[in-house]
Structures are given as C-alpha cells and as structure tokens.
Chain A
C-alpha cells in the first residue's frame, strides 16, 4: 500500500520520517477502518430494522455493561498505544545529538535569515550537508513565525524574545521546501525558504563562494534571482503596484522624495545605500520597516540588483 502513503505524504528526506510515517499510516488505517465499520453497522441497522409500521415494538434494552466496557477499553488500549508511539518519535526529534552543527534561523516579516557557524549568512536559502545532524536555533524579530519542513516532518515556532530549537539529519541530497506555518500577516504565504541538502563537497564550495550556479549567472538574471529569493519580492513589486515598499518599476534615474523632505536621485549609490542602510533614506509615505542587508548579500549580488533595477524601465 505504498501508493497510499505516497499519495498522502510528501517525499521523506530526514531521519525523523520513519517514525512519524509509521504512526501516521497506522492512525489513517484506523480512521478508514472505523469509518467503514461504523458506516456498515449503520447501514445494516437501517436496512434490517427499517420501520414498516408505527405499531412496531422494540426491545427495552437500557444498557449492557460488558459490551460498554469492551468499547471503552479497546479504544483506551488503542489510544495508549498511539500515545506511546507518538511520544517515542517525539523524544527522538527532541533530543539533539551533541555533534549537531548549529545554524541560527531568524524569522522576520517575511524572510528567513540563516547564520552558519562560520558567520556566513544567507536569506531564505539554507544549505546543509547531507547525513550530518544539524540543529536550528530559531527566533523571531517581530511576530511569531513557524519553521516547517514537510519533507523532514518537522516544525517549530520561532518566537520573539525566546529561542527554540529543532534538529534533523537530512538523508538525501536535493531541495526541501520550507514554509512559515504561523500566520504572520500579508506576506505569510510568501515566507518560503528552501533547504539545499548538499553533498559534503557541495557544502564546502557553498561556504567558500556561495551558490555555484549563482556565480556564473549574468548580472541582471542574478538580480532577478536575488529579488525572488532574498525577500525583496515580498515588498517591492516589478509592475508598479504599491507594496510595503515602493515598486521598482521605472525608478532608475528618477528622483525620490524622502521622509526627510529632500529629493534623491536613484542611482547605483542610492540603491546600494538603500540595501545596506535602509533606514537612512525612507521614501515618503512608506513605513521604515525594511531590514538591513548588511552582510547578507555578496557584492556581486548587489551589483546584480542594480543591473536588474536598471532594466525595469
């Protein structure tokens, strides 16, 4: 019945999958069984004892203690089994191995920021080596977010003012999707991140020079990629619609009036400053909510964004 499991559950790609999937399928079959069991009993009763005349007399059965005990104790036994099974998996997911590599994940409206042990930072793209335990320490800068990786069967809230943790060992190289599952406002459903499960060599390369593909890309394509992946798209549109921040359409070489009343020419320096020190110049009529990207973007990526914005005439 693997097709049924594959229909219900996404690909499994961490060490937590087996435990959870086994229990999930057990309860699924239990639900299916009792649905049809109860359905069959009802159907049988309705067909067998359908009222034919209003004068029918029914037996006066008030209760049957033995029968009632049976259908209290059997469910009790089943749910205790489920409890223990669920608890077992949870303990495993809870106790972090000592050799786990620690990555700090910070949620903010509406991006995930990752900080690696060596100080490298990425936005929305998390690179982890395959077959090595990784511990994520989660926190949030504004409201509660939740870090959810369906393919790892894992989820943990990121709570402002607190740190929570979760750990996993990814078992196959590839890309796993991350969702935010605690409602956090307008960009909630776009607060997506990806986990790149790398081979050890790939991971080394990543730490050294960032993502390989990205390095080879033409600047303006890189700019678009950054816009898509690093959270720009959540607030800045490309088609002129007003978001949390100004749209990028046609802003190159235009003059922006800042909250301070002065006018600024949108050129390369201006864009660089807006990315690295967003609070220095806020365009009139917008909230000063953009986080700084200092240390989060490589120089080439900033150049890429400038080229990308140039193209958006």
Chain B
C-alpha cells in the first residue's frame, strides 16, 4: 500500500468546481420546472433521478470521491445498506394481505374522513381514553 503525502493529493482547479456549481444550479432549475409537469406515477422517480444526479456531482467533485476509490466504497456501501433497509421493509409491508372480517359493514375510519382501504378501527368497543359521557 502506498502512502500518498498530504500535499501530493490531486488538486482540482477552482474552474472545475465552478462548472460543477453551474451544473448543479441548472439541475435545480430543471427539477423545479419538472415539478410543474405531470409525469403521472413517474413524478417522484424523475425528481429523485435529478436529485441523484446532483448528489453524484457533489460526491464525485466536491467530496473528491473521483480520486478516492476507497472512501467511495465506504460511502456506496452505506447507501447499499440503506437500500436494503428500504427494500426489505417495503417488501414486507407491501405484501401483507388486507385481511378484513366478513361482518365488517362499513369501514370505520381510523381518523375522521380518512379515505383509506387499509387499516380500520375495530368495529367493537370504545376507543382508548374516550371521555366519560
């Protein structure tokens, strides 16, 4: 393993940084403009793709990951575990069956007016902490 000296680290010129900033600002304008268009279910995806492009620019240039493979592995590894966290949790939550008792007449809202097909309050008994009549 070679030990680079502290002053031997590659120095990026301010001009490059300026261009990166410019790109980031342009992407910000794009993402704001894109929010006025309706891509249907892809809205969030588009927003996140643009955010990831910006994030990559920051990480690669401002955080020097371009020249820093080792720490890039650490960082990407961290993101990978975040992804596992999200995907595994979603996997369970989204594959749960919506079991409903057959005698459930109307969905009783969990809070007033909630248009939810999912969780409902049980049909019997009083809610916890209901004030005395």
Q: Is the CB of B128 within 8 A of A163?
A: no
Chain A residues positioned under 8 Å from B99 (CB to CB): 137, 162-165
**20 A-B contact pairs sorted by A residue (CB < 8 Å):** A102-B101, A106-B125, A113-B125, A115-B103, A137-B101, A141-B122, A142-B128, A161-B120, A161-B121, A163-B100, A164-B99, A165-B99, A260-B132, A279-B132, A279-B133, A280-B132, A288-B129, A288-B132, A289-B129, A292-B126
**Interface status of B124 (Cβ within 8 A of chain A):** yes
Which partner residue on chain A sits nearest B99 by CB separation? Answer: A163
Q: Does A108 contact B (CB under 8 A)?
A: yes
Is residue A291 contacting chain B, with contact meaning CB distance below 8 A? yes
A277 at the interface (CB under 8 A from B): yes
Nearest chain-A residue to B124 (Cβ)?
A: A106
Asked whether, in the complex, the Cβ of A291 is within 8 Å of the Cβ of B125, the reply is yes
Complex Cα distance, B125 from A108, in Å, reads 9
B26 CB to closest chain A CB (Å) equals 45
Residues of the A chain whose Cβ atoms lie less than 8 Å from the Cβ of B125: 106, 108, 113, 141, 291-292
* A103 → B minimal CB distance (Å): 9
In contact, B101 and A104 (Cβ under 8 angstroms): yes
In the assembled complex, the CB of B93 is this many whole angstroms from the nearest CB of chain A, namely 11
A94 and chain B: residue at smallest CB distance: B97
Query: Which residues of chain B from 86 to 127 have a CB within 8 Å of any chain A CB?
Result: 96, 98-103, 110, 119-122, 124-127
Report Cα–Cα, A76/B53, bound state, in Å: 42
Given known A-B contacts A102-B101, A104-B103, A291-B125, A162 and B119 have beta carbons under 8 A apart:
yes
Complex Cα–Cα for A282 and B130 (A): 12
Number of B positions contacting A (CB below 8 A): 22
Given A108-B125, A113-B125, A260-B132, 6 new contacts (CB under 8 A): A104-B101, A115-B124, A163-B101, A164-B99, A282-B132, A288-B130
Q: Contact: A102 with B133, CB < 8 Å?
A: no
Q: Tell me whether B131 is interfacial, beta carbon within 8 Å.
A: yes
Contact B119 A277 (CB under 8 A): no
Q: How far is the CA of A289 from the CA of B125 in the complex (A)?
A: 11
State whether the Cβ of A139 lies closer than 8 Å to any Cβ in chain B: yes
- Asked whether A141 and B132 contact (CB < 8 A) given A102-B101, A102-B102, A106-B122, the answer is no
The distance from the CB of B131 to the nearest CB of chain A, in whole angstroms, is 7
A259 at the interface (CB under 8 A from B): yes
**A274 CB, nearest partner CB in chain B, Å:** 12
Q: Which residues of A contact B129 (CB under 8 A)?
A: 288-289
- In whole Å, how far is A270's beta carbon from the nearest beta carbon of chain B? 15
Is there contact, CB below 8 Å, between B119 and A161?
A: yes
Chain B residues with CB under 8 A of A137 = 99-101
Question: Given contacts A102-B101, A137-B101, is CB(A279)–CB(B130) below 8 Å?
Answer: yes
- How many angstroms from the CA of A308 to the CA of B119 in the assembled complex? 41
Interface set, chain A 266-298, CB cutoff 8 A to B: 277, 279-282, 288-289, 291-292
